[in-house]
Amino acid sequence: MFGFLKKNKEKQPAKPVPEEPQLSETEQEQLKDQIERIKIQVKELEAADPLQDAELAKLYESLGLAYEKLSQVDEAILALEKSLDLKLSIGDGYKKLMSLYNAKRAEAARNGDDEGIEKYMNKMDDMRQIAKKVTVGGK
């Protein structure tokens, strides 16, 4: 009776997770060169005018995004966090950092690492607070 209300019990095949395209050696070298150029720009800007937080934030964001493309996750996280320390923003760097935190949290969950789960959940909570500050405060 009321068979139309019953859920279809047949398991649907899992949708394949799309893989990110692999970078060619040339693309990897270009990103590494870009990282080195950005590092030089950061040092020059910090030496010339350490109060240029907005410009430094952009450079660190670019640095973090380049590291992420090279799958250097920890370096990407550090650079993106530095960017947000200098200037709150909810741009591409913010989105990528949230994604990296979520991936780290998922990895910790797979490994049964409760401390890691809590650490990255707290970091994601901090990110949501940044979004509130930026959207409400207009920073």
114: domain CATH number? 1.25.40.10
Name the CA dihedral angle for 131, 124, 21, 61, rounded to a multiple of 10 degrees.
50
Residue range of the domain that includes 79: 25-137
Domain assignment present for 80? yes
Distance CA 4, CA 1 (A): 8
Domain assignment present for 74? yes
pTM, 2 dp? 0.74
pLDDT of the chain, 139 residues: tens digit per residue: 455 555 554 545 445 545 567 899 999 999 999 999 999 998 888 888 767 788 999 999 999 999 999 999 999 999 999 999 999 999 999 999 999 999 999 999 999 999 999 999 999 999 999 999 998 875 4
